[in-house]
Amino acid sequence: MTHFTLATLSTPAGLTAAIGVGDNFYPLRQTQEFQDATVRSLLEDWTPSLAKLEKLAEAAQAGQLSQRIPAGEATLETPVRYPNKVACAGANFTSHLKEMGFTDLGKWDILPVFLAPPTTTLVGPGTTVKVPRTTKEFDWELEMVVVVGKRLRHASREEAAAAIAGYMVGLDLSCRDLAICDNQLKIDFMRGKLQDTMKPAGPVFVPAKFVPDPDNLRMTLLVNGRKMQDASTNEMLFKCDEILAATSSHVTLEPGDLVYTGTPSGQAKSHGVPFLKAGDKICGRIEGIGELNVTLKSDD
């Protein structure tokens, strides 16, 4: 089986979906079958898409696709433009609960989940993230992102597992000084977690069949080359299928939707290092899924 990824490339002729095989991306618009496809449209009909993409990956491997862009020359956008929903699960790693100062370090009875607005928060790699003007405590969180491939409502874990189309690397950037506020509501997700460009995802989409053991992947995050987070998805209190199933008991998950699955420890405060500022570089890596690099800019 030829390994492949899906990406959205920015080219002089506009955005195009592409299949990544080896060190190259092959724009899908050169094929009859996928001329108008986007990563999002492929996800809408995922089972038949996958079968056809497997054949296309073999053709690319065999040198049968003439248009290709070497990975080093490609400009990547966030792959799924845009999902209907982005769901983010909280309280999912004991180590992070501890550093946040919570005392209940086990698996909570109710999984906290919030929704992020897709078109304004999702960005891809590159100099894409704006440090919000309103924060003095802009912080990193590396998360595995699940991409939904089937409609789910009140799903069992088995149904949820079967609906996972694939994975991406995600960052759940957070303004620590704004997320928790001093009024009776206590929490303000819009200012703390949902401002523009605060949910980078990518750089490519990796189909689930190439990630045989998603519950056992090393996750590392570096800021300006210094390692800040280093954990494994095996520490997740709620597994991916459980998060999808729980979320689907409140909202319908649809093909293309993204689910962020929580972050381990290693935030700025726990290292005693400064928060993020314009110019800083974040590298988020998840074994077998990829490496998402973003550079921060000011919000002018």
Ligand X SMILES: *[C@@H]1O[C@H](CO)[C@@H](O)[C@H](O)[C@H]1NC(C)=O
Give residues in contact with ligand X (CB under 6 A).
Answer: 88-92, 96-97, 100, 141, 143, 172, 174, 222, 225, 260, 262-263, 281, 283, 291, 293
Q: Find the shortest distance in angstroms from Cβ 41 to ligand X.
A: 26
Nearer to ligand X, 2 or 295 (CB): 295
Q: Find the shortest distance in angstroms from Cβ 226 to ligand X.
A: 9
Instruction: Kindly list the distances between the CA atom of residue 146 and the CA atoms of 80, 89, 135, 187, 206, in Å, as whole numbers in the listed order.
Output: 12, 11, 28, 25, 10
What does DSSP say about strands 290-298 and 126-131: parallel, antiparallel, or unpaired? parallel
Could you give the angle at the alpha carbon of 127 between the alpha carbons of 23 and 35, nearest 5°?
A: 50
Nearer to ligand X, 97 or 131 (CB): 97
Q: Find the shortest distance in angstroms from Cβ 217 to ligand X.
A: 17
Nearer to ligand X, 48 or 225 (CB): 225
Q: Find the shortest distance in angstroms from Cβ 95 to ligand X.
A: 10
Nearer to ligand X, 141 or 257 (CB): 141
Q: Find the shortest distance in angstroms from Cβ 35 to ligand X.
A: 29
Distance, in Å, from the CA atom of 44 to the CA atom of 192, rounded to the nearest integer, reads: 31
- For 145, other C-beta atoms within 10 Å of its C-beta total 29
Nearer to ligand X, 37 or 198 (CB): 198
Q: Find the shortest distance in angstroms from Cβ 260 to ligand X.
A: 4
Nearer to ligand X, 44 or 177 (CB): 177
Tokens 């998060």, residue?
Answer: 243
Distance, in Å, from the CA atom of 172 to the CA atom of 260, rounded to the nearest integer, reads: 8
CB 168 within 8 A of CB 199: no
Two structure tokens written together for 77:
């956008």
Q: Find the shortest distance in angstroms from Cβ 181 to ligand X.
A: 14
Nearer to ligand X, 39 or 231 (CB): 231
